[in-house]
Each structure stands twice: as structure tokens, then as C-alpha cells.
Amino acid sequence: MNTILICHHDPAYLSLLSDYMRQNGYRVETTMDAEQVYALLSERQVQLVLIDAKLHGGICMDVVRRIRGLYVHLPIVVLSPVLSREEQLYAYRCGCSDYVGVPADMELLLARMEALIRLVAADEEDDLPAEFMLGHLHFDGVHHQLGEKEISPRESALLLMLCRHKNKVVLRSQILQTIWARDDIYASRSLSVYINRLRHYLEPVQQVRIVPVRGKGYQLMERI
């Protein structure tokens, strides 16, 4: 579950945003105090910041600039009812990742947030290992090779995700959003097909198996 930090001067709108984000599966930290933003970021693992451009004293862009200096890859979305073209350009130059007018279309805001979080997660995944030994089979996630068999890019991405979280449950929703970029019945059926294919490929490896975890997702289990 991703955590977001919302900093807004209006308590009513802050409450509205927080409730909506929680209903859509986010952990939410809130503050009306710009100075508290830094303390919360140091204490919590936050995946995105929503910040009000009209904070008291006009200090929003100072806050954005300071956050960007401390957290290079953290997505920062600026919220504002009205920003001129020059103000929007200034916001981006200070380090904001996106600008959303308010009152915001909540569904659209959520989609833009999810896109930013996925981009950062993808960059972080690039730094993780892409080769694994699954029993006697060597898996190369870059070249889509499992032992002597060449597998499809999507099969490779799915197996790589499971390998990187070996012996841990990977949520079905997380797999769908990361690899299929959507979470609907068609993508879900497709995922089931790909899981069955991977299970078939791994049948010769007795100590490795992909296990469904009811109501959650899948787990690549390896017996030592």
C-alpha cells in the first residue's frame, strides 16, 4: 500500500482529499503546516506529495524546491485553483512533477498520481537484479531466457517480478497495474493464463513453485 503526504491550507478540502485517497487504497499523512512536511518525510516512507500552491505566505515553491533537493525521485504534485503560465513554468523549474487545478477531478488526479508512482517504481526496479537461478534453471529477465527456453517479454516480466519478491506474496493488483497497466477482468484472466504457463515451464524444478494466495496474489516459493 502506497503512502501519500497531503499539505493543504484548507481543512475541509484536506479532509475531502484524504477520505478519497484512503477509499482508493492509499495510506495518507496530512498537514497544514509546511514545516511539518520535512519531519513527516523523514519519519515515513512516502511515495508521493500533494501540496497546495497557495500555502500561507506563498512559500509553496520554496517547499517544493527543498523537497526536490532532499528526495530527487519523489513525485510532487502541486494543487492550485489558478496558476498563470509563468507560475506553472516556475513550479516545474522548482521541481514539481505535475500541476493539477482545483477543485480537481478526483478520478483524473488519482490516475495521474498512479502514473507518477509507477514511473518511479519502474526506475527503482531497473536497479534490481534481473538474473536468478531457479533450481537448475538460469533465468535471464533481460533476454527473456529460462534455461534453454526463450519466453515472451510479458512472461519474463511476470517471472522477474515474482523472483524479486521470492517467498513473499505479490499482490494481484500490483502485478496487473505494473505489467498490464490496468486492473480489469480481461487483464485478470490474462494474468491467470500467464501464471499457468510459468508453472508449466517450472515443472521440472521440484524445489520451485508458484503458489496462489487466495484473495491476495501469488508467491514464488523456493525450498532450500
Per DSSP (E only), the strands in the chain are: 3-7, 27-31, 48-52, 76-80, 98-101, 131-134, 137-140, 145-146, 149-150, 169-171, 208-213, 217-222
Whole-model pTM over 0.95 = no
Predicted pLDDT at 42: 84
3-125 is classed CATH 3.40.50.2300: yes
| Residue 198 Cα to chain centre, angstroms | 24
Rounded to an integer, what distance in angstroms lies between the CA atom of residue 221 and that of residue 168?
8
C-alpha cell at 22: 484512503
Listed by start position, the domains of the chain span: 3-125, 131-222
Give the pLDDT means over successive 10-residue stretches in the chain (224 positions).
90 94 93 88 89 76 86 87 81 87 87 86 65 92 88 89 90 84 84 94 92 92 82
30's grid cell: 496530512
φ and ψ of 16, to 5 deg:
-60, -50
Helix-helix angle 185-201:153-164, to 10 degrees: 80
Q: Which among 78, 64, 86, 99 is positioned nearest to 8, based on CA atoms?
A: 78
Q: Three-state DSSP class for 10?
A: coil
- Residue 157's H or E segment, with its range, is helix 153-164
Query: How is domain 131-222 classified at the CATH fold level?
Result: Arc Repressor Mutant, subunit A (1.10.10)
- The pLDDT, as a whole number, for residue 86 is 86
